[in-house]
Copies of this chain bind each other. A is one copy, B any other.
Amino acid sequence: MKLKESTPKKDRFRLIAEFSENQACYMIWPERSDNWRGGGKLAQGVYAKVAEAIHRFEPVVMLVSKNQYKNARKKLSPTIKVIEMSNNDAWIRDFGPLFVQNEQGVIRGVDFRFNAWGGLLDGLYFPWDQDDLIAEKVCEIEGIDYYKIAKFILEGCSIHTDGEGTLITTEECLLSEGRNPDYSQKEIEAVLTEYCNVEKIIWLKQGIYFDETNGHVDNILNFVRPGVIVLTWTDDPEDLLYKICREWEQVLSTTTDAQGRTLEIHKLAYPDSVFITKEESEAIDMAHGTYPRLVGDRLSATYVNYYTAKGAIIFPTFDNPNDKKAKEKLQALYPEKEIIGIEAREIVLGGGNIHCITQGIPKNKKVREQAT
């Protein structure tokens, strides 16, 4: 579909919040054996569970490599669409399209560059060329026009928006040496302003310690609705994140959003520390240049890394006492949605969670724009 030479800001399209209604949810079938233990079979099972849960509320499309096509097709309900697409790994929120919308409700895609979370400096695998093509391929399939940014690296999990002009991100990630080292913070703000068309960017200093993505914001918080945030939290003074949580809270509670609102903050305690076991570590293939997963490494397990469907919240659980409290808290925040927990240890073993492996395609008010 037509690649726009303009920018969303010029065309008055604005980054849309992920709690907007979706016409479909896209995922990618996991398979690389140097990231997913046991040849990815356990992760595939959990991805399938996530897909089936979302599928109760909106159409789901599973993208899958040539080699895993028949396997994915067989493992999923017939009404989940399975479409072939080459990939390097299964994190569509990071390298799938972002979406912007204008006042008439037309949706367009935004395709930033992707370099596996740090490129040759501290990226997590090589190559990442197929991941980097996925945003435009998804837009092609959906018939959505898209903007393409020639050089700028940005992952979808590194920003959150309220859809009303506010964007939250972290310095640790966006200022990292492996992404856009030639851009100053001001220049990065200029890119985000032009391609996301936001007016207020809230910078948190850093993400959670044991997150290999250089501090993605989607393991810190999520927008419930404009003005309302759910924040990863601990009250254990011995925990590594104790101080960091308070720094996040300090920033978020003393700023206002693009509409001038003070943010309402709800705290969501993450599970007790979750670590990689010997059995888990040993079932991962060795490979050149991929991220090691060592016994005893702490996993980036949080509850805020969830998917927002129209009628449900699909959130990760970890066979942990905090699971139940998280569900209650989420139910209170979303009284009209069904709150569905899915045991997600296999996903966090691969380096992310339910939010990272899903990407909603917002409802397009006009199915097809006129050719321009």
Q: What is the interface of chain A, defined by CB distance below 8 A to chain B?
A: 1-3, 66, 69-70, 73, 78-79, 81-86, 130, 133, 136-137, 140-141, 143, 371
Residues on the B chain within 8 Å of A73, using CB: 136
**Closest B residue to A2 using CB positions:** B78
Least Cβ–Cβ distance between A170 and chain B, in angstroms: 32
**Closest B residue to A69 using CB positions:** B133
Sample of 14 more A-B contacts, CB < 8 Å, known A3-B78, A79-B371, A82-B140? A1-B78, A1-B79, A1-B81, A2-B78, A66-B66, A66-B86, A66-B130, A69-B133, A81-B140, A81-B143, A83-B140, A83-B141, A84-B85, A84-B86
Bound CA span A86–B68, Å? 12
Residues on the B chain within 8 Å of A82, using CB: 140
Question: Could you name 26 residue pairs across A and B whose Cβ atoms are closer than 8 Å?
Answer: A1-B78, A1-B79, A1-B81, A2-B78, A2-B79, A3-B78, A66-B66, A66-B86, A66-B130, A69-B133, A69-B137, A70-B133, A73-B136, A79-B371, A81-B140, A81-B141, A81-B143, A82-B140, A83-B83, A83-B137, A83-B140, A83-B141, A84-B84, A84-B86, A84-B137, A141-B141
Bound CA span A84–B85, Å? 6
Number of copies of this chain that the complex holds: 2
Least Cβ–Cβ distance between A23 and chain B, in angstroms: 12
**8 closest Cβ contacts across the A-B interface?**
A2-B78, A66-B86, A81-B140, A84-B85, A82-B140, A79-B371, A83-B141, A84-B137
Least Cβ–Cβ distance between A85 and chain B, in angstroms: 6
Residues on the B chain within 8 Å of A136, using CB: 73
Bound CA span A2–B79, Å? 6
Residues on the B chain within 8 Å of A81, using CB: 1, 140-141, 143
Least Cβ–Cβ distance between A299 and chain B, in angstroms: 32
Residues on the B chain within 8 Å of A86, using CB: 66, 84
Bound CA span A73–B146, Å? 14
Residues on the B chain within 8 Å of A130, using CB: 66
Residues on the B chain within 8 Å of A69, using CB: 133, 137
Residues on the B chain within 8 Å of A371, using CB: 79
Least Cβ–Cβ distance between A29 and chain B, in angstroms: 13
**Closest B residue to A67 using CB positions:** B86
Residues on the B chain within 8 Å of A143, using CB: 81
Bound CA span A82–B2, Å? 12
**Closest B residue to A62 using CB positions:** B140
Least Cβ–Cβ distance between A98 and chain B, in angstroms: 20
**Closest B residue to A82 using CB positions:** B140
Tell which of A66, A85, A141 has the most Cβ of chain B within 10 Å: A66
Bound CA span A140–B82, Å? 6
Bound CA span A66–B137, Å? 11
Least Cβ–Cβ distance between A70 and chain B, in angstroms: 7
Tell which of A70, A81, A143 has the most Cβ of chain B within 10 Å: A81
Residues on the B chain within 8 Å of A84, using CB: 84-86, 137
Least Cβ–Cβ distance between A15 and chain B, in angstroms: 23
**Closest B residue to A371 using CB positions:** B79
Residues on the B chain within 8 Å of A83, using CB: 83, 137, 140-141
Least Cβ–Cβ distance between A75 and chain B, in angstroms: 14
Bound CA span A79–B372, Å? 10
Least Cβ–Cβ distance between A26 and chain B, in angstroms: 13
Bound CA span A85–B137, Å? 11
**Closest B residue to A4 using CB positions:** B78
Bound CA span A78–B148, Å? 13
